Structure 1
Amino acid sequence: MTAIRHPFLDRPLPLAFAHRGGAAEGLENTVTAFRRAVDLGYRHLETDVHATADGRLVAFHDDTLDRVTDGRGRIADLTWEQVRRVRVGGREPVPLFSELLETFPSARWNIDVKADAALAPLLAELEAAHAWDRVCVGAFDERRVARAQELAGPRLATSLGTRGVRALRLRSWGLPLPVRRGAVCVQVPVRHGRIRVVDAAFVRAAHRLGMQVHVWTVNDADTMRALLDLGVDGIMTDHIELLREVLTERGAWQG
């Protein structure tokens, strides 16, 4: 077990993350999805952010509206007035991230920053809401997340990007590669293509550097149990009722 390096992580382990609020229900990244997760007892919620053409920060995964809404187009090319009119699954509006912070004041948010243009608005909103203690920022782009850490300092929790994960995986195999030390956690899939990412050696390597290991996106019970046996510190899932059941059967549900 690692020492707690940021208030975002200051909960009994393992942490349970509702991925996009519980994407299996089909209304991902909506107030309705996040409310359902919170009502089930989740305290850690995962979401994604993009900036609209006029600089408003929305909780949305894709760079276009096409897959999950009744609208079309790239979010970066649309104004907030245009985005606010579309509906996820034909039913639910796309929320502003500021709305989520206000609606769920006790929730902790794991945020995937999907584009460079979203970073400055995100940091501004965290400052305005005094929400530094309940947010962790990640991105596949190591440069982007390192920039977030540089701008915000230690008040912001960050996870490793892809380059950092690669270095940590090689480090777990005995190669002494440098890993960005400001990160408080590493958030990874079980596998990347043919390469196994999460195993006992990887977990040990992360813990030696003081980082928690959170695994995404895990949607079957057997994999959840195997990861918990390895000692991972958190699991992200689309199937939020299933993860709660697995943790409950082990006496580890903290909701």
Structure 2
Amino acid sequence: MRTAYLDHPGPLPLAHRGFSAAEPENSMAAFAAAVALGFRYVETDVHATRDGVAVAFHDDTLDRVSDGTGRIADLPWSTVARARIAGTEPVPRLDDLLGTWPQLRVNIDVKSAHAIGPLVEAIERTRAHDRVCVASFSDARRRAVERALSRPVTTSAGTGTAARFRVAVATGRGRAVARALGAVDGLQVPERHQRVPVVTAATVAAAHAAGRFVHVWTVNEAADMVRLLDLGVDGIVSDRADVLRDVLAARGQWFGA
């Protein structure tokens, strides 16, 4: 481990956008609900406003989940701050999420190139290097964040790296798997992509042989959680934080706060 982020005695339970089945997604209320359940890990996405404020928000526009409108990257923070998620909850700054719970570990998906600089600044300001995992569908965005930070962070592969990993597993060559994964610490992937299995006994074993973790998103049914945990995955990202907690507790693998 390059940082303390993965220092956890069992599979990592990650509350997707907070406890988003109970409170509006990516709101401080959702993150607080996850913390109240005992979660030590949450997942969020990050965008940045026109004036460089990093916000914990999934979409590139305010329209779907809030009473505001417009592309976040085109709006100043003063406008985004007035929007209310589900009509009730303000859009949180990433600094608020990282600063409110100093022990909380946060998986951060970098959603745009515009968010790279503000994300780096937020991590540096809050000195959160040891408690964040930087992920992105774009390997280039993830690498840009790594290069700009003053200290290492845990990282997850982008889609290009994940695709090369799957090809390497198919060849059955361990060294090819390690080369495909490069410097990332692990993989965060769906169980299937367009009906093609991504998380299998073979891919989990190959990742582990290369010293990398496998986290699966977004898993909301208890039976699916059990099946994946039986495969040996290292973490599950779920909207149903309550269900995930109960599944892990029944297996003796819940180590919440």
| Number of residues of Structure 1 aligned to a counterpart in Structure 2 | 252
In structure 2, distance between residues paired with 1:151 and 1:136 = 15
Residue 192 of structure 1 is matched in structure 2 by 193
Residue 45 of structure 1 is matched in structure 2 by 42
Residue 78 of structure 2, aligned match among 59, 78, 81: 81
Q: Partner amino acid for 2:234?
A: D
Mean CA deviation greater in 201-210 or 149-158:
149-158
String of CA shifts for 1:195-248, please: whole Å, max 9, x gaps: 100001110111122111000000001110000000000000000100011111
Residue 62 of structure 2 is matched in structure 1 by 65
Residue 227 of structure 2 is matched in structure 1 by 226
String of CA shifts for 1:61-100, please: whole Å, max 9, x gaps: 0000111001111101111000000100111000000011
Contact 1:57 1:96 in 2 (8 A): yes
Q: CA deviation at 1:167?
A: 1.0
Q: CA deviation at 1:25?
A: 2.7
Residue 104 of structure 1 is matched in structure 2 by 101
Contact 1:149 1:182 in 2 (8 A): no
Query: Cα distance 1:60–1:248, how it changes in 2: closer, same or farther (>3 A)?
Result: same
String of CA shifts for 1:132-167, please: whole Å, max 9, x gaps: 000010000111112222333761111000001111
In structure 1, distance between residues paired with 2:171 and 2:219 = 27
In structure 2, distance between residues paired with 1:180 and 1:146 = 13
Q: Partner amino acid for 1:17?
A: L
1:129 has 2:131 as partner: no
Q: Unaligned 5+ residue runs, structure 2?
A: none
Contact 1:26 1:89 in 2 (8 A): no
Residue 28 of structure 2 is matched in structure 1 by 31
Query: Cα distance 1:166–1:28, how it changes in 2: closer, same or farther (>3 A)?
Result: same
Contact 1:139 1:161 in 2 (8 A): yes
In structure 2, distance between residues paired with 1:193 and 1:97 = 32
Q: Partner amino acid for 2:144?
A: R
Residue 111 of structure 2, aligned match among 86, 110, 114: 114
Q: Partner amino acid for 1:118?
A: A
In structure 2, distance between residues paired with 1:215 and 1:107 = 20
Paired-residue identity, %: 50
Contact 1:213 1:233 in 2 (8 A): yes
Q: Unaligned 5+ residue runs, structure 1?
A: none
RMSD between aligned residues:
1.3
Q: CA deviation at 1:101?
A: 1.1
Contact 1:160 1:185 in 2 (8 A): yes
